[in-house]
Chain A
């Protein structure tokens, strides 16, 4: 080699490639970061307008049970409560079922079952929410009407639709969490004389606890943010629910029904933005919760 110095330290295709790659990825990161910050700032700016203009008061917004934008009363409590109820109930009902299916697939059934079930679950995850809403409208609402009376529209129907919607997601995440437990752990447990149930209950579930909780929170986050399917079956009455049959409205369903009917800059419009801000804050909380359980697990 004539000039080792230029050969080893001079300009080269490799170094140029690396520099270009770093530049491109940094740019992408910057764009995404800027997007997130912009959305946050925009939502906050829009969301607090209701209170800065003096049209609505914070205490009224969070605690008043009356949502009457036409009359200038902006109590979001009914929607916040309804959103929380449908989400939590759907999540709590969904988890045992999702876990049972996941355990059957990973621990009990032969491997072929997983091969068959996986595409089915993926298909269910991919179905658009409007289809779930349609199923809710044509199957669940009439069923609720038959079984518990009333119109059929309301909390029960919304919970039913959300349950169907988040089950596949929760199941596939629970399957992943269980599969992440090393098979040596199961063998070691069996080697000590444990039955399959003892191994599941004493070793596999504790080891997968973080992942399973994440699956539940993820499912609940999806339920909390779902607008269309819920709006189709919940009855859309922005009142504090008094029973599981009563018609109600969630944060998202009020947003979708109201957004087109208000004029930018009016108090009614600002109130919707305030609801959106609450939604965003809740999503952040779900995210935080997920981080906490994965760290612990």
Chain B
């Protein structure tokens, strides 16, 4: 096993009194794509959103989330810095009401970056990494909301890349997109893992098997099995995983 990017210990999440995730322990390997799969309501998205504290004020998260040896699931944590290091891409494309250029540098602007050369470079690099550069390089100053759904989602990925996080969390990033856009994003992800650690929630088992190196199967808020993707799909050790993969459940 390689280097660990993020380690989760005894993590449980509850909405009010209702537990959604119970006692999850897992270590996310660095520079790999880890897929979280499971039926609706299995707690995979909730767990993902806890990893960069997006569940603050929504749910109660207990347990430890260790990032560079620091438990970031503590009240004194600077959540804004955590989210700069652990970025998130959501299910719905969410371009902000501004130009493509301004969308990409949004995170840098937040940190007060003003140097034009730095910003220009970062825009080009991020859009290239997100495989969007060729399509938008001549209209960077036009509104981002005029882009197609697939382009918008790649823009959102570029926007996260521009802040140069270590880890990128993706919550079903292609479920609102058509198959062609989905392919483009999957191809992009394969390139990105050299530089980033990616944790992706997906409803689509084929997608998990295509793009991920590791897969974790969740059922009713519990982590059932967490293995290298080929092993989990070919040879699951838990009956429940096998049932889910073969469509007997969920």
- Show the binding face of A for B, using Cβ within 8 Å: 182, 184-185, 187-195, 198, 202-203, 206-207
Q: Are B110 and A192 in contact (CB under 8 A)?
A: yes
Q: A191-B83, A191-B88 are in contact. Are A182 and B94 (CB under 8 A)?
A: yes
Chain B 74-108 interface residues, beta-carbon cutoff 8 Å to A: 80-84, 87-90, 92, 94, 96-98, 106-107
Q: A193-B107, A203-B96, A206-B98 are in contact. Are A187 and B90 (CB under 8 A)?
A: yes
Produce 1/0 per residue, B153-166, CB < 8 A to A. Answer: 00010011001000
Tell yes or no: B52 within 8 A of A by CB: yes
Q: Are B94 and A193 in contact (CB under 8 A)?
A: no
Q: How far is the CA of A192 from the CA of B94 in the complex (A)?
A: 12
Kindly list chain A residues whose C-beta atoms are within 8 Å of the C-beta of B160.
191-192
- Show the binding face of B for A, using Cβ within 8 Å: 52, 54, 80-84, 87-90, 92, 94, 96-98, 106-107, 109-111, 156, 159-160, 163
Q: Is chain A's binding surface mostly helix, strand, loop or mixed? A: helix
The smallest C-beta distance from A198 to any residue of chain B, in angstroms, reads 5
Kindly list chain A residues whose C-beta atoms are within 8 Å of the C-beta of B94.
182, 184-185, 187-188
Name 19 interchain pairs, CB-CB below 8 A, sorted by A. A184-B94, A185-B94, A185-B96, A188-B94, A188-B96, A188-B156, A189-B96, A190-B54, A190-B83, A191-B88, A192-B87, A192-B159, A193-B107, A193-B111, A193-B163, A194-B80, A202-B109, A206-B96, A207-B97
Q: How far is the CA of A97 from the CA of B160 in the complex (A)?
A: 35
> Of A187, A191, A198, A206, which contacts B97 at CB under 8 A?
A206
Kindly list chain A residues whose C-beta atoms are within 8 Å of the C-beta of B106.
189, 192, 194, 202
Kindly list chain A residues whose C-beta atoms are within 8 Å of the C-beta of B89.
191
Q: How far is the CA of A195 from the CA of B109 in the complex (A)?
A: 12
The 3 closest A-B pairs by CB, nearest first: A191-B88, A193-B84, A188-B94
Q: A184-B94, A188-B90, A202-B109 are in contact. Are A193 and B80 (CB under 8 A)?
A: yes
